[in-house]
């Protein structure tokens, strides 16, 4: 865990059409939402251009916010092989951007993220959104859903870092 009590985490929910991002900052005992949204690509563009856009936008987030850690949601079961391959490629360019900026990477499964926030591994989108809203003291559930998922990944990472610190 970072030496000071101030920690910034960039959460990412990877996708090739819509990559959610969420940045949180822990200052002392407070958890502050810094920014969230999504990186949206244009469906009619060549796929390699879409990947490059995800890469450059992720690199920009990393350079602008200089997070201490990046939390990336791992892939889960996909019925469509083409989709899982494309999302994997999007994850790849996100991981490349993190490595280029020397940002430590933590990866979490959807189950781990759900358990960290709700205590229940099968929580639905609404339950997760409400927990993100409550933990970050927001007026409403963050939209789009991918941004809420990315904030959840960042919160899971913060929880994981706390647990590692306790284990030392």
Q: What is the pLDDT of residues 115-155, one digit of tens each?
A: 999 999 899 999 999 999 999 999 999 999 999 999 999 99
- Give the Cα separation of 83 and 80 in Å (integer): 5
Whether residue 40 lies inside any domain: the answer is yes
CA 67, distance to chain mean position in Å, is 12
Q: Is the pTM of this model over 0.85?
A: yes
- Give the Cα separation of 129 and 115 in Å (integer): 14
Give me the active site residues, please: 13, 73, 146
Whether residue 75 lies inside any domain: the answer is yes
Whether residue 28 lies inside any domain: the answer is yes
* 73 has a pLDDT exceeding 60: yes
Whether residue 153 lies inside any domain: the answer is yes
Residue 22 sits in a domain of what CATH number?
3.30.420.10
Whether residue 1 lies inside any domain: the answer is no
- Give the Cα separation of 120 and 27 in Å (integer): 27
Whether residue 62 lies inside any domain: the answer is yes
Two structure tokens written together for 12: 């990412």
pLDDT in tens, 122-132: 999 999 999 99
Whether residue 91 lies inside any domain: the answer is yes
pLDDT at 4: 54
- Give the Cα separation of 134 and 89 in Å (integer): 33
pLDDT at 1: 46
* 77 has a pLDDT exceeding 70: no
Q: How many domains does the chain have?
A: 1
Range of the domain at 50: 6-167
């Amino acid at each position: 865990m970072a030496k000071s009590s101030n920690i910034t985490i960039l959460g990412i929910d990877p996708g090739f059409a819509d990559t959610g991002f969420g940045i949180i900052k822990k200052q002392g005992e407070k958890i502050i939402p810094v920014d969230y949204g999504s990186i949206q690509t244009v469906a009619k563009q060549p796929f390699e251009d879409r990947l490059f856009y995800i890469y450059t936008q992720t690199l920009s987030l990393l350079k602008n916010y200089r997070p201490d850690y990046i939390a990336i949601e791992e892939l889960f079961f996909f019925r469509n092989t083409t989709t899982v391959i494309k999302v994997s490629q999007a994850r790849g360019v996100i991981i490349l951007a993190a490595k280029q900026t020397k940002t430590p990477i933590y990866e979490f499964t959807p189950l781990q993220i759900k358990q960290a926030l709700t205590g229940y591994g099968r929580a639905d989108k609404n339950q997760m959104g409400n927990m993100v809203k409550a933990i970050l003291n927001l007026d409403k559930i963050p939209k789009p859903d991918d941004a809420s998922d990315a904030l959840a990944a960042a919160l899971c990472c913060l929880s994981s870092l706390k647990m590692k610190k306790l284990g030392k």
